[in-house]
Structure 1
Amino acid sequence: MEALSGDGYAYGYRKLTVLLRRDHGLVINKKKVYRLCKELDILRPQRRKKATYPRKLARNRVITDSNQLFETDIKYGYIAGEDCFFFIQSCEPLSIDWTQ
């Protein structure tokens, strides 16, 4: 398992289990591979969840009518083989809690 994990690739215990079963014909389950990886100190660190942030749209504003709040999105791209970029801009009105 150290040879498989030392190939320069970042394999977790699940992928190591598949490789041991497929390439070496071993009958082994992922729990045993996890335990062995932990003992050999080749266990990959767990991924951390990315933090989610609340939408801060229209904070400290009172929407009393339509077309008072707009949201825009700009997307940049590169044209392959050319020395130029392009961008797409979309703008859409938002209705947030508007009553009459």
Structure 2
Amino acid sequence: MHERIPCRTPNKNAHIEAFHSILEKECLDHNEFQTYGEAYRAVSEFIYRYNNNRIHSGVRYMSPAEFYEKNQRQECTPLKEIKL
């Protein structure tokens, strides 16, 4: 589901704001891009690592991909539902 939020209300979309902060700190701040293609490749590689290799405390210190697979096979209990 896609949800639009009012402008200048980052508190209503904390998850994507946190992701953008991590992207900036771990990828964009460490590179100087000469072309759009270089930036696109670096961001694409970062997103792949973020989802497949980087562990996240919010999903029991697994990568999102690992948690998703284990959850699909019902090898771990679901996370608490987030109330918005």
TM-score normalised per structure 2? 0.21
More RCO (CA 8 Å, sep 6+): 1
Bigger strand share: 1
